[in-house]
Amino acid sequence: MPIPKPQLYPPFNIVRLSHVEFLVSDLAKSRSFYVDTLGLQVTDETDEVIYLRALEERGHHCVVLRKATDGTAGEARHLGFKVYDEENLDKAEGFFRGLDLPVEWVERPYQGKTFQTRDPHGVPLEFYCKMDRLPPIHQKYELYHGVRPLRIDHFNCFSPNVDESVAFYNELGFRVTEYTEDEETGKLWAAWAHRKGGVHDIAFTNGRGPRLHHTAFWVPTPLAIIDLLDLMSTTGWLKNIERGPGRHGISNAFFLYIRDPDGHRIEIYCSDYQTVDPDLEPIKWDLKDPQRQTLWGAPAPRSWFEEGSLFAGAKVKDSQLAAQPIIAP
Tens of pLDDT, residue by residue over 259-312, are 999 999 999 999 999 999 999 999 999 999 999 999 999 999 999 999 999 999
Comma-separated ranges of CATH 3.10.180.10 domains in the chain = 14-132, 146-310
CATH topology for 14-132? 2,3-Dihydroxybiphenyl 1,2-Dioxygenase; domain 1 (3.10.180)
What SS3 class is residue 253?
A: coil
pLDDT tens, residue by residue, 183-230:
899 999 999 999 999 999 999 999 999 999 999 999 999 999 999 999
State phi, psi for 118 to the nearest 5 degrees: -140, 150
pLDDT tens, residue by residue, 49-105:
999 999 999 999 999 999 998 889 999 999 999 999 999 999 999 999 999 999 999
What SS3 class is residue 105?
A: strand
Rg (CA), the chain: 19
What pTM does this model have?
0.97
* 74-to-45, 59, 167, 264, 307 alpha-carbon distances in Å: 19, 25, 29, 6, 11
Mean pLDDT of 130-156: 97
Q: Which H or E element spans position 222?
A: helix 222-234
For strand 124-128 and strand 76-83, is the pairing parallel, antiparallel, or unpaired?
A: parallel
d(CA 13, CA 211): 25
Give the chain's mean pLDDT: 96
Q: What is the DSSP letter of 84?
A: S
Counting Cβ atoms within 10 Å, is residue 155 exposed (0-12), middle (13-18) or buried (19+)? Answer: buried
Structural contact between residues 56 and 151, judged by C-beta atoms closer than 8 angstroms = yes
Neighbours of 322 (CB within 10 A): 10
d(CA 26, CA 127): 28
**Region 146-310: CATH code:** 3.10.180.10
For strand 188-194 and strand 151-159, is the pairing parallel, antiparallel, or unpaired?
A: unpaired
Looking at the DSSP bridge assignments, the partners of residue 22 are 65, 76
Neighbours of 139 (CB within 10 A): 8
d(CA 119, CA 34): 28
